[in-house]
């Protein structure tokens, strides 16, 4: 009975190998077509060289400017999503932009008073997602 066990093991292992598909092939099969997808730009806002958790008149002024800038970008329909992370780590928040280029996302983030003051720095990544994504806070 034990003589057939190695043969059975080899056959099972060969079956597993033939059932596996390389990740690239899987991605090609499940990646939606460009007519249903678009590139957005996700910005991670991180603690900058002038970051402090201290609340001062100056940090309050910068924060107010930061919030006003977020509202301005949202009103322009270029900013889809923004918000802070609540775990008090290096990454402080995110922006998700619906713009045509990474340069435009960078320019919008560069205008943020918290970035200008060095309280925050940015890390931008292109993000591929469904066209027409929308965050509607009134529907939650």
How many distinct structural domains can be found in the chain? 1
The answer, as to whether pTM is greater than 0.85, is: no
pLDDT at 33: 73
| Mean pLDDT across the chain | 83
- Lowest mean pLDDT of 18-22, 31-35, 44-48, 126-130, name the range: 18-22
Provide mean pLDDT across the span 11-22: 47
Structural domain includes residue 4: no
- Per-residue CA distances from 16 to 10, 21, 78 (Å): 10, 10, 47
pLDDT at 55: 95
Q: Domain range spanning residue 123?
A: 37-132
What's the rounded Cα separation, in Å, for the pair 105 and 97?
A: 6
CATH number of the domain bearing residue 46: 3.30.70.1060
What one-character DSSP code corresponds to residue 51? -
Provide mean pLDDT across the span 59-64: 97
pLDDT at 106: 97
């Amino acid at each position: 009975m034990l003589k057939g066990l190695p043969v059975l093991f080899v056959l099972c292992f060969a079956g597993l190998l033939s059932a596996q598909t390389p990740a690239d092939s899987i991605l090609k099969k499940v990646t939606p077509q460009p007519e249903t997808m678009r590139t957005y730009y996700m910005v991670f806002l991180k603690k900058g060289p002038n970051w402090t958790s201290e609340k001062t008149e100056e940090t309050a002024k910068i924060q107010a400017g930061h919030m006003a800038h977020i509202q301005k970008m949202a009103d322009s329909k270029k900013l889809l999503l923004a918000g802070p992370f609540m775990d008090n780590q290096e990454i402080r928040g995110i922006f998700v932009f619906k713009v045509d280029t990474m340069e435009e996302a960078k320019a919008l983030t560069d205008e943020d008073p918290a970035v200008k003051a060095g309280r925050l720095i940015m890390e931008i990544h292109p993000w591929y997602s469904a066209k027409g994504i929308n965050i509607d806070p009134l529907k939650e």
